[in-house]
Structures are given as C-alpha cells and as structure tokens.
Amino acid sequence: MPEHPEGATTRVPVLKIFDGDGFLTRIKASELTGIPSDQSDLHVAVRFAFIDAPELDQPGGHESKDFLVTLIGDKCVDLELRMKMDTGQIVDRHKRIVGVPFLTEEYSGAEFRTSSNRTHNAATFGGPLLVTRNIELEMVLNGWAWVLERYGPGARYLEALKDAQRHKRGIWASTETNIRPWEFKQQKHREKRLLEKTGTKCPVEGCRGDLVKRNGRFGAFFGCSTFPVCKFSCSAAV
C-alpha cells in the first residue's frame, strides 16, 4: 500500500515485535518531551494508531505477528506520531507511543498499468526507485488486522478492510472464529473478574467441583464441572 505520511515523522529502529500491532523501539527523549537538549535514548513500546491485530491467544494472532516481522522486523521505519484521544498525548494509558509506521525501500524498477490498461515499466538510471508504504494499511489489506473506526482513520483503511474480507485473506479465510480483539479482551477481563470474585472452585458448600465456562441459549455462563450433580451456574457478564 504505497502512501506518504501526512505530517512529520521520526525514524526509529524496530528492535522487537510484540504482536501484529506493536513493537519495541529506541527514540530520543526530545521527540517526546519537546526539550531539544534532552538527547538521551529511551526504549519504548509503539502501539499502532488505527488498527488492532488479533491477540496472540486468538486465532490468527501468531500469524499476524509473523507477518509484521516479515514487513519491518529489524528494519527502520518512519513513525508518524499521533495524539491519543483518551489521554490527549502521544502516549496511551499504558505508556506506549501511538503512531503510524511507514517503510521506505529501494527498488531497481517497477511495473504498472495506466487507465488504458497498458503495461508500463519504470526503470531508474543512477539512482534507486523509492517507494514508501503504510504498514498499517498493509496489515489490514493482507487480512491480519481490524480497523479502529472510532479513531477516524482515512477511507483507504476501510477500503483495504473490505478488499481483505472480499478475497478472504488472513483471518478472513474463516469468519466463524473471528472476534474483534477489543471484544476478546473485554471477555477475558470479565472472566478474570469472575474468577477473582468466586475463585475457581464451585461456591456451593460441600461441592468439590470447579467453575467452567459454557455456552447456552443466552450466551456464555459459568457452571459447576460436576453438573448435573451440582446445578450451580452464574452469568459470565460481571
């Protein structure tokens, strides 16, 4: 997805990729504080601004991470910093930098078609052909990330998402197990709160069963593992 940044960027190295939408980098403190004299290096996590990749324990999570590694692993990217809406800063509530990564690479030539559907070849003499790509868009177009529409991404993000879904790329090859990552995280959080509230053991006096998650007519719930001996159950929504 060739695209140039809308604003200023900062070149940073990709030191380690966490998942399909985040990596570890090193950046000058002055880039974050606005104090030119502060030239110390900081190691910080970068969170992509407009996409959300599957969690690692979701279907497609590891594949999404692996695909991002093939795109930018051990390379340098130009990071366009973005203001985080819920904090009013370029860091989110987890102290991660929020931005859109762009990758510029050299090519010796290219092939393209014009509106008349004629094929043309582009070649360079004495210098490389530079192509800048929006990595967020490439993750979406190849089917390895959702679009965070609530943050107001450009129309190309939604077009890339529809194209990936139409051609069943990445996670869209099987839509039966697709859960939006933010909904998946909310579900995990509810389960954690429930287990913290009741413990893993069934709360019925004298019962030695454990609470296990089940799916019923009205959605997910927790029931005793000894059912039907013990019929205790409670809602998974806490």
DSSP 153-192: --HHHHHHHHHHHHTT-GGGG--TT---HHHHHHHHHHHH
pLDDT for 24-66, tens place per residue? 999 988 777 777 777 888 899 999 999 999 999 899 999 999 9
pTM, to two decimals:
0.75
Q: Where are the domains of the chain?
A: 10-173, 181-235
Q: How confident is the model at residue 125 (pLDDT cuts 50, 70, 90)?
A: confident
Neighbouring residues of 27: CB distance < 8 A, sequence distance ≥ 6: 10, 12, 41, 42, 44, 97
Percentage of residues in the chain with pLDDT exceeding 90? 44
Determine the CATH number of domain 10-173.
2.40.50.90
- The dihedral region occupied by 157, where left means phi > 0, alpha psi between -120 and 50, and beta the remainder, is alpha
For residues 3 and 136, give the distance between their C-alpha atoms in angstroms, rounded to a whole number.
Answer: 11
